[in-house]
Chains A and B, each alone.
Chain A
């Protein structure tokens, strides 16, 4: 089956009467799941898998993929409006999104984010399809040494640009994150590290409670202490002009199209690499946007690029993950693992054979992601209005309610008691870090990547010995890391000197 034929067949199947309702239904469900803090794309897939057994394969796959596609969009909305990341992918949006809400520009941020999500997803999935033959060679270029260096690069990048008070504080943030990542069973020797006898810590701290604590609970604590509401400036006429704002946001994204493409590329590339996940991609995109922006000092205070960049990246990541999953049968992320098992249960086998024998199914999946995202974008814009109104409620009302939701969300992930305590503890830590200007983005990235860093370090040493750094790609990444570090330190020192401030 030719590519063009498969493309058309896939589209035809996606909009067929049999499939379309499930596509829309899945998209709506995904949006809701994304909005609820603590529930992620992985969860959406896991939860819906039991339902698809009784469906036709095409319908079932469409359903779960559509749901998965829109989760990041829902999460983006809560991140912007309520400073609560719906999922890990939206953590980076927390850096500028809430600030825009504060300024009364919530609608603009949401509009921009939704559009960026859609374009990112579109890019990720389509460009990847075109590159499919070359993909294999690209993916195979990345092995343990490259994973290791990539993680270090991402970490450095974010530590430097993550909005900390100083480079030192940024790096401290990242290092703290790494430290907490080491708590739990060590995959290399199986030893239990830093668990202090608690069985709950065997698998380490779960990402969702830590994420929710560090970013969401801390914001709630802050909001409570300082009073006021999420939208500080209840700009007159802001309610009516919400639609106008959303439209303005859409235009913003389109105007920044080059940024969107670059960030989507970053997202897609990181999605290709199994195990990295979408949170790092969003942060790297953010850091990149800040690095290349003409007015970097606006980042962290409500710059629209700070919303566009991560949101285009996080949806593009899933496109990359989907591509490598379908092409190799190797899941690019945990949700992809579920997709593979769902496919197997439905009798479809992912892998190179899939490309040859079921190209129409592949394109059906691709179109589902695209159309699902489109659906999510449109729906999101409708929901944004009523949701945004909630941000004008007074903090003293909103904070307790949101705290209850956040705490519940933390529990749900593993149905674990302990996770609720984790949320609180990290909420306190996050608050401290926020007030003292330590980099929380670096922290979360260090936390997410910590084990990956260690594992790949060990594997690299085992496979190539100490010389592993001299693998061409790894070396290149190492050089890049040093360059980024040096460049940014020099920039900061220079600007400090210019402003006559002592080194902080």
Chain B
């Protein structure tokens, strides 16, 4: 009897989670990874954002943004998945094969192109805003 009640309780919890998710999805738009990255940079890092002119960055599916972290400028491309981000990296490498070590980095679906080789603290600032 007690196990049956336990199983029913788990079923009720699972059902309420599914209903809650369904209701939330209907009434709420997911801001998406790009908005989350931008919000984090502005709110958590106090960054000022600009629209990049870099055509490769602009080709990223979810969007791109440019900012400055500890005096080092950086263009951030947000791809839909790591494979697309890898394609952006490959394009950068094709058009600028002599990029210095530490200027171009991919992390998950994000690609960072720094104006100068990034320091560990500069990199960490962006890693904190990875979605």
A and B associate in one complex:
no
Q: Which residues of A contact B (CB under 8 A)?
A: none
